[in-house]
Amino acid sequence: MAHDYPEVEGGGSLILAWQVRNKKVLVIGGGEVAAGRILNLLNADAKVTLISPRDGLNDEVAYRVEQKQVEYMDKKFEPTDLDDPAITMVLTAIDDPEASTTIWKLCKEKRIAANIADVPPECDFYFGSVYRDGPLQIMVSTNGNGPKMANIVRRRIESTLPPTMGDAIKKVGALRKRLRQVAPGNEEGPKRMKWMSKVCVQWSLEDLCEMQPEDMDTLLESYEPDEVPTFTKVRSGKDDWEWQFDGSFGWACVV
C-alpha cells in the first residue's frame, strides 16, 4: 500500500537550537575563528572560558578578554583543563591538527560535545551561517561541505525577508505570554496552539508589527469563542463593513 509520507533522505544533520544559557563552554584558541565562536556563545548567554597564550589573541578576542566578557586563561591547553565537570561543550580553533585531534579524543573519553574547527569528522556538531533579527534566528548548514556556500545562501534568504520580521515575532511572543495568563491550564494547550496559529496566518506581518498591548487585550477576548477578528476590527471596535462605510457620502432620499 502506497503512503503519502516523506521520503527518508540520509546524510543530514539534526539541526537544533542548543540552549547554553549560563552553561560553561570551553574555547581553545584566540584567532579569527575563535572570535566568531565566542560571539555566537555570548549571544546565547553562555559562560565562556578561553584558553590561549596572549600572543595568540586577535584584536576582537583581546577586546572580549579586556571587557571581561570571557573567563581567560593565558596558557596552552592541558588535558587537566577538561577535568571541570561543569564544562558542557568544547570548541577548538588552533592551527595544530595533532593537538586538535588529541583534544577531540580527550573529549570523547569524557563524553563532552566538541567542535574541532575545519575538521568535520572530528565534530559532534557544526556551526552554520546565521541570520539574526531580534528573536528570529535562521541557520544555514552545509554539513561541513562548504562554509562559504552557507554564507551565500544565508544572504540570499536574508534579502527576501522584510525588515519588520523581528518586531512581529516579539509582538507574537508577548501575545502568547498574555494568552497563557488568560488560559493557563495544561488542558488548554491544544486550543492555545491552534488559536495562535490562526492569528499568525490571518493577520499580516504589518498588523502584527503595529499590534499594541491594548490591541492584544481586545484580541484575547476572542479566544474563548475561538475566533480571530481582523486587525481592523480589533483596532476600531467595529465590524469590517462598518469600518469600510462610515456614511461620509451621505444618503439620498427620493420621494
Q: DSSP letter at 15?
A: -
Determine the Cα–Cα distance for residues 62 and 78; give it in Å rounded to an integer.
21
Catalytic residue among 55, 83, 118, 124: 118
Residues in the chain: 255
The cell numbers describing 247, all together, are 456614511
The cell numbers describing 53, all together, are 597564550
Determine the Cα–Cα distance for residues 233 and 246; give it in Å rounded to an integer.
14
Residue 230: how many CB atoms within 10 A of its CB? 15
- DSSP secondary structure string for all residues of 49-111: EEE--GGG--HHHHHHHHTTSSEEE-S---GGGG--TTEEEEEE--S-HHHHHHHHHHHHHTT
Q: What are phi and psi of 98, to 5 degrees?
A: -65, -45
Look up residue 9 and give its amino acid: E
Catalytic-residue membership of 118: yes
Active site residues: 118
